Amino acid sequence: MSTARHDGRQADQLRPISFIPHVAPHAAGSVLVSFGNTRVICAATIHEDVPRWMKAQRVEGGWLTAEYSMLPYSTLDRKDRDISRGKLDGRSSEIQRLIGRSLRAVTDLSKLGQRTIWIDCDVLQADGGTRTASITGGCVALAIALNGLMAAGKLKAFPLKQLVSAISAGVVDGQPVLDLDYIEDKGAAVDFNVVMTEGGEFVEVQGSGEEAVFTGGEMAAMLELAGKGSTELVALQRQAILDADRPSGDAMAALAAAFAR
């Protein structure tokens, strides 16, 4: 693999990935996920009720949904809050729907009981891959919350069927590469976001040429890179979920250390 990438990474190498659990004390499950310099707080909140449409249609089980936002200071130029514009922007709406779809794909909603789980993903710092980090971290926050429900005896069976993660791949300077940061994403000829289960199945593939086209061979190379990245992410997710059950040290101290890197 070439080391021509601007940060010295191999073509198939992820950025440094980390998960810091319990950063939102009032959430049922939370984690600060970092993909390099992209940092997102993912928090799961449990509401002991289901949406009105489920009651009206007599749908059994529970519901899982997501919200996504980029904080004003997450980018170089201040980003206006959605509330100041009076509506959710199209990008945020599309991403939060993607997060929800991805997590519902691996959750048995019939085992949730009559409750709704909200996954809130708030971007603290954006350097490419905020949606992939949100899905990957959102799954960890969800697992932590479900572990809490199981421990409290509120669930009869664990609803999460398997883990799900997401990663980007693209063609940069003619080379397929994994996990694009902002510089690479901005200059990529092709950009893919790939959501996969730990079993290797695809949940969703979003890809397009950026004023360019791509071959079947390039697409296959990007999907192969994404598969490799997904396997590595799942291992890190599993460790993060285990660490959340046996926390060591103070979460806020770990948070400060993460930003000091």
CATH placement of domain 17-246: 3.30.230.70
pLDDT at 45: 97
Q: Which of 113, 13, 24, 22 is nearest to 64 (CA)?
A: 113
pLDDT at 1: 45
pLDDT at 119: 98
* Total count of residues recorded for the chain: 261
Find the angle CA(65)-CA(258)-CA(11) to the nearest 5 degrees.
80
What is the per-residue pLDDT across 88-130, written as a single tens digit (0 to 9) for each?
Answer: 778 889 999 999 999 999 999 999 999 999 999 999 999 999 9
pTM, entire model: 0.90
What is the per-residue pLDDT across 178-200, written as a single tens digit (0 to 9) for each?
Answer: 999 999 999 999 999 999 999 99
Residue 74 confidence class, pLDDT cut points 50, 70, 90: confident
Cα 107 vs. chain centroid, distance in angstroms?
A: 15
Q: Which amino acid is at 105?
A: A
Residue-range domain boundaries for the chain: 17-246
Question: H/E/C letters for each residue in the chain?
Answer: CCCCCCCCCCCCCCCCEEEEECCCCCCCEEEEEEECCEEEEEEEEEECCCCHHHHHCCCCCCEEEEEEEECCCCCCCCCCCHHHHCCCCHHHHHHHHHHHHHHHCCECHHHCCCCEEEEEEEEEECCCCHHHHHHHHHHHHHHHHHHHHHHCCCCCCCCECCCEEEEEEEEECCEEEECCCHHHHHHCCEEEEEEEECCCCEEEEEEEECCCCCCHHHHHHHHHHHHHHHHHHHHHHHHHHHHHHCCCCCHHHHHHHHHHC
CB 91 within 8 A of CB 69: no
Choice among 90-94, 203-207, 236-240 with the minimum mean pLDDT: 90-94
What is the per-residue pLDDT across 27-71, written as a single tens digit (0 to 9) for each?
Answer: 999 999 999 999 999 999 999 999 999 999 999 999 999 999 988
CB 46 within 8 A of CB 28: yes
What whole-number distance in Å separates Cα of residue 242 and Cα of residue 228? Answer: 22
Pairing of strands 38-47, 29-35: antiparallel
- In the chain, % of residues over pLDDT 90: 81
pLDDT at 90: 81
Look at residue 204 and tell me whether its pLDDT is greater than 60: yes
| Core vs surface per residue 164-184: b (16+ CB within 10 A) or e | bbbbbbbbbeeebbbbbbbeb
Q: Does 90 or 163 have the greater pLDDT score?
A: 163
pLDDT (average), residues 146-157: 96
Look at residue 237 and tell me whether its pLDDT is greater than 70: yes
pLDDT at 170: 96
- In the chain, % of residues over pLDDT 70: 91
The per-residue pLDDT of the chain, averaged, comes to 91
